[in-house]
Amino acid sequence: MMAEALLSIDEVSVRFGGVVALDGVSLNVKQGSIHAVIGPNGAGKSTLINAVTGLAAINSGSVRFLGQRIDGSAPHAINRRGIARTFQNTELFGEMTVLENVMIGADRHLAGGLLSSALHFPGYRRTERAVFEEAKRLLGVVGLSDDIDTAAAALPFGKQRRLEIARALATQPKLLLLDEPAAGLRSAEVSALNDVLISLRTKLGLTILVIDHVMALVMAISDRIAVLNFGRKIAEGTPTEVRNSPEVIEAYLGE
């Protein structure tokens, strides 16, 4: 029996001039799963996330979220539907505190939502206090409760990555897309990140699509792994299936 896909990417192609970044890629991400996409540099991993979040225009194919087409929608509209992301390069406000970074994420989300909230619930407004409480809660989820007053730039790298995740969570997503969250982290930081991702799924019921250059992070936590190479999906399966795939081994050896 096939569970309904939360995110359905169907035969998506993205070209940049003469470069085919994605070539007919299909991927179904099941509700409540941790789904990974791995592949060598330049394989099209970030482009895949950009195509889902509205930052890269697709040339053909379709992207559906909760059964509805989202390709062609603007990034903020896609975020409002329940998809949040982090970027490959950290994009925090370094001089602001950890708490402020998360409150900004919630506030931006709220700003867009105030009108529709007001239409449905006249007089309704989430207070600054509620934003503050929610930000503190999310920082607890990612293990940063002791760092809320620290300047973001002063955090060790691994904690900065988790702060970015908390900021993405402040937009109340159903689906979280993470672009190489483990890149450059030491192994202790990787296992802290792993724990956070697993608790997001079990405690918040979040669905996660995580990209990684190597298999180390995703092997331990993913239900399924898809492998991209030169813009094509060359393998997909459980971590064990993927690890033993000759196509995958060859793609990595050829790098």
DSSP classification of residue 29:
E
Nearer to ligand ADP, 44 or 158 (CB): 44
Q: Which residues neighbour 219 within 8 Å (Cβ) at sequence distance 6 or greater?
A: 225, 239, 243
Is there a contact between 131 and 106 (Cβ–Cβ < 8 Å)? yes
Is there a contact between 82 and 172 (Cβ–Cβ < 8 Å)? yes
Rule CB under 6 A: is residue 124 a binding residue for ligand ADP? no
Contacted by 194, from Mg ion, ligand ADP, none: CB < 5 to 8 Å by type: none
Q: Which stretch binds ligand ADP (CB under 6 A): 3-11, 23-31, 34-42, 114-122?
A: 34-42
From residue 155 to residue 194, the character string flagging contacts with ligand ADP as x (rule: CB under 6 A) and all else as - is: ----------------------------------------
Q: Please, what is the minimum distance in Å from the beta carbon of residue 214 to ligand ADP?
A: 12
Nearer to ligand ADP, 19 or 74 (CB): 19
Q: Which residues neighbour 8 within 8 Å (Cβ) at sequence distance 6 or greater?
A: 27, 28, 29, 62, 63, 64, 65
Contacted by 173, from ligand ADP, Mg ion, none: CB < 5 to 8 Å by type: none
Distance CA 247, CA 96 (A): 45
Among 3, 4, 11, 16, binds ligand ADP (CB under 6 A): 16
Can you name the residues that pair with 37 across neighbouring β-strands?
211, 226
Binding site for ligand ADP (CB under 6 A): 16, 19, 21, 39, 41-47
